[in-house]
Homo-oligomer: A and B are copies of this chain.
């Protein structure tokens, strides 16, 4: 075990994957010598050479297309999109190509092994072009796996699983936690399961669901509800947005009868909608109150009013209380 922040855990995962398998490559804007604007690929070029870790020209659609071709050849490209806000020029390559590669060819070709890593989320005074949480756009796309880790341990294990997955993965990294989240991480290779949620705190009154950087926030809200009102929250980290672990959530809600979902992205069309729709259907007779969604407002991510915009612990706490008092 070693103490690592999330960037170090990611860097460590990439390092292990590249050491283990020659076909793993890392590239993206400023990813090479510089190690990426957040330094997630630090020292990898030094260690594995310019052909396996390199800068690309400034073109996200090119990066994604290049990665698709490389993966189709059998390589395992780990492509970085500098900010999730800049993944949209690559949207066609990801949604029409990456996601459909295996299906459209009848399994003649596939791009398993391909991972897009990209920092997402707000809370860093980034305004609407350095703060977006676009996971829902990808979650509507069969063929992709979408993952969001919450801490260094999760980031390393899930990233290694992503690189080893036979299916392409979008790996969203909560940049607010890059340096802020520090924890014990095994130094050796390990994987955590894709498609499995994790119950991070058991509870009996209400299920509280989130992912990524919001896990901290819902934990804080749960603590507040516990201290102030004696409410016992069961907290679930969804971890995989696609495919998502319906069973774990259903099981919890069957027990608690209440569900509050929190995410950073705007409410309308966000992934909380999918979860709420599924859960109301599967747990209809067990729900004691409406499923609550605590999300970003339906506006582009603001700057000066960021604090007001965020789905913070107070808003979450209020939703918990509302749900309990329904």
Chain A positions within 8 Å of B, measured between CB atoms, are 61, 85, 88-89, 91-92, 95-96, 99-100, 103-104, 128-129, 136-137, 139-143, 242, 265-266, 268-278, 280-282, 284, 287, 289-293, 298-300, 326
Residues of B within 8 A of A274 (CB): 268-270, 273, 277
B284 adjacent to A289 (CB under 8 Å): yes
Those 8 A-B pairs whose CB atoms lie nearest each other, nearest first: A140-B269, A276-B277, A88-B92, A91-B91, A273-B273, A273-B274, A284-B290, A273-B277
B142 adjacent to A99 (CB under 8 Å): no
Residue of B nearest to A270 (CB): B140
A96 adjacent to B85 (CB under 8 Å): yes
Q: How far is the CA of A104 from the CA of B269 in the complex (A)?
A: 21
Residues of B within 8 A of A268 (CB): 139-140, 142, 242, 274
CB distance from A110 to the nearest CB of B (A): 13
Extra 12 A-B pairs, beta carbons < 8 Å, given A140-B266, A142-B298 = A85-B96, A88-B91, A140-B269, A143-B300, A242-B268, A269-B271, A269-B274, A273-B278, A274-B277, A276-B280, A277-B280, A280-B290
CB distance from A72 to the nearest CB of B (A): 17
Residues of B within 8 A of A269 (CB): 136, 139-141, 242, 271, 274
Residues of B within 8 A of A100 (CB): 128, 300
B142 adjacent to A140 (CB under 8 Å): no
A277 adjacent to B281 (CB under 8 Å): no
Q: How far is the CA of A270 from the CA of B142 in the complex (A)?
A: 11
B292 adjacent to A281 (CB under 8 Å): yes
Residue of B nearest to A139 (CB): B269
Residue of B nearest to A298 (CB): B142
A299 adjacent to B88 (CB under 8 Å): no
Residues of B within 8 A of A91 (CB): 88-89, 91-92
Residue of B nearest to A128 (CB): B100
Q: How far is the CA of A268 from the CA of B269 in the complex (A)?
A: 11
Residues of B within 8 A of A85 (CB): 96
Provide a sorted-by-A list of 13 A–B residue pairs whose CB atoms are within 8 angstroms: A61-B89, A85-B96, A140-B268, A140-B270, A142-B266, A242-B269, A270-B274, A273-B276, A276-B277, A277-B280, A277-B293, A284-B289, A284-B326
Q: How far is the CA of A280 from the CA of B268 in the complex (A)?
A: 15
- The interface centre, meaning the residue of A88, A99, A266 with most chain B CB atoms within 10 A of its CB, is A88
Q: How far is the CA of A289 from the CA of B272 in the complex (A)?
A: 21
Residue of B nearest to A289 (CB): B284
Residues of B within 8 A of A136 (CB): 140, 269
Residues of B within 8 A of A89 (CB): 61, 91-92
